[in-house]
A and B are shown apart, each in its own frame.
Chain A
């Protein structure tokens, strides 16, 4: 296979690794010799958070394993944009089987490696929120429960994006999707539904669970490396804004992810053996409106007939997260 050399289109940004800094202070991403799981040329939308998150996560996993790894991919945007035959962006052994079975396929790969005495090769499975917390949830839970030696990474863009932005159980309340339209008495996705993949993962008592966003790529890299230091089932849930599905500007992907964290809407934490061991504190708390108003999926909450009641409800939910996870020091209650 021909290995593609890395191209840099940007200079100096946080994203490509601070290449204007002194060499000692630069991140690995600024090095054209760095690991490179997912090469350029794939078909993701401009500003796709999933493409960014996947590259950083899998690059970090490659570094942690010295390239000795196999990736399993669920159906979804990541799979479709990275591999349209006869092309592939993957520079690692990679297999896609179905939408709902990535965790089980990974179990099988891990079992094969164990039978062959090749546990030096590590297994990473990855999928979107739909492939993870909806259709693939049974397989995922089984993989967790058996403590199979797999790191599962969920790229959460809060909907079924590949099929045209439909609701998943990770779609937040009030968000518009093609199947939760802004019609009827409760416009957008309804309140009181949905589930938390990371908390359910923790309830399995697995070794390591973490959440991350593409706004803090160092943190994401650290968490992947940390995850790879364990054997057994591990789970990382990454918030990856989707400009197409969220109706946000391509250039705002990082900002959306940062605001999700800084509002408390998306708690960033680490858990070991089912206990939270670390939370990323909110640096300066931002009201949810700053986050919501930049996304067309929430446009019905603002504008001509605004819904401050719905915004207030979402604010309550964010505040609840802040309390539960102790995201702001002075309002911290007991750890969740």
Chain B
């Protein structure tokens, strides 16, 4: 059904259609509207056979999710920013235990300085947590990715984080197509846990593992994520077949076929880049975009295929590894190993700084003239930076 609705509400509707059994979350902007909506659905009896647990922290939220998932319940939570870091220990634990929890991350910057606006600093900090990470470009995709996420998580026994840009998506009203219960039921079978806490067949979950087997356990987690590369593509294709629209998959290319310069980015900024590309194409410039939907596992082979023919790749990153620069860049470079492709990092949009088409055009211009530095901060106010540097000496 077509609906003009807020991104958060669309996600809440999608989650409800997935028949979650336990929802447990702690409020933090910009995630709040999602869990508020779900809370109302459970309390009013619209969403049945589901427990909504109000906890005292994100650490408790993820911990309760661990318990409920280990007990065989389809489990959902949502958080952002400080909340994700507050639950970090349990985030790693959930993936280590192979629990197919689905979590929405309403991407938001990490403090200090405290900042509630969007960037990808939070999810990037959990890059190596063992969770699958999918990034939504639009509200429709956010909604669709959640439906796919449960299937992916439960097929592989790996938790999935669906990242959607805070405010830009979560609080934006857009038209979305909310599927019917029958459609979702046909796509998403009931949860059959790989292992479960059951008095009839008692098992111990979470035992200590020593040096003689720890490497193997970690390798198996890695192998499972490598499997996820195929699963993400397959489930995305299945989704398209059942729902009639393209959503998900590993990555999406836009006008890249004959492109000299290709931008790689994640999330909602892709729309702005695509618009800029259209303008530049109209002027005869050979530019294109690759949007990464899957960041973990990293779609190395697909990306190499998508980028291999161009001369310059710009990785536009909404997060910063202080002391290094880009985060996604390292993985992009690794997938291009041995190919004559120049790779440039552009850090943009930190803490909600708008990423403007004019700035992107300038970036493309500099890239084609060879003036774009290997590491650029988009729209950085150097006057302010220099003043502060002088002041502190």
Contact = CB atoms under 8 A, between A and B. Distances in A.
B102 to A, nearest CB: 14
Contact of A121 (B49, B56, B199, B201): B199
29 contacts: A1-B203, A73-B206, A83-B206, A83-B207, A86-B207, A90-B204, A93-B202, A94-B203, A95-B70, A95-B197, A95-B204, A96-B206, A97-B90, A98-B89, A101-B59, A104-B60, A104-B61, A104-B67, A107-B53, A108-B22, A108-B63, A108-B66, A112-B67, A112-B73, A115-B21, A115-B50, A115-B51, A115-B68, A141-B56
Interface of A: 1, 67-70, 72-73, 79-80, 83-88, 90-98, 100-101, 104-117, 121, 138-139, 141-142, 145-146
B67 A97 contact: yes
A109 B69 CA distance: 8
Nearest to A107: B64
A146 B71 contact: no
A115 to B, nearest CB: 4
Nearest to B23: A111
B206 A139 contact: no
B383 interface: no
B72 A107 contact: no
Contact of A105 (B49, B56, B63): B63
B45 interface: no
B67 A72 contact: yes
A101 B73 contact: no
B305 interface: no
Interface residues of B, number: 44
Find the residue from A73, A84, A111 having the highest chain B CB count within 10 A.
Answer: A111
B43 to A, nearest CB: 14
B68 A109 contact: yes
B281 to A, nearest CB: 51
B68 A112 contact: yes
A161 to B, nearest CB: 16
Contacts of A96: 204-207
Contacts of A91: 202
B231 interface: no
Contacts of B22: 108, 111-112, 115
Contacts of B69: 108, 112
B49 A93 contact: no
A142 B64 CA distance: 11
B213 interface: yes
B73 A105 contact: no
A95 B205 contact: yes
B272 interface: no
Nearest to B201: A1
Contacts of B60: 101, 104, 107, 138-139, 142
A97 B63 contact: yes
A52 B183 CA distance: 54
Nearest to A100: B59
A116 B73 contact: yes
A99 to B, nearest CB: 9
Given A97-B90, A111-B24, 7 more contacts: A104-B60, A108-B64, A108-B75, A109-B71, A109-B197, A111-B22, A111-B53
B54 A80 contact: no
B210 interface: yes
The 10 closest A-B pairs by CB, nearest first: A108-B67, A108-B64, A104-B63, A112-B73, A101-B63, A142-B56, A96-B206, A112-B71, A105-B67, A83-B207
A67 B199 CA distance: 7
A88 B204 contact: yes
B346 interface: no
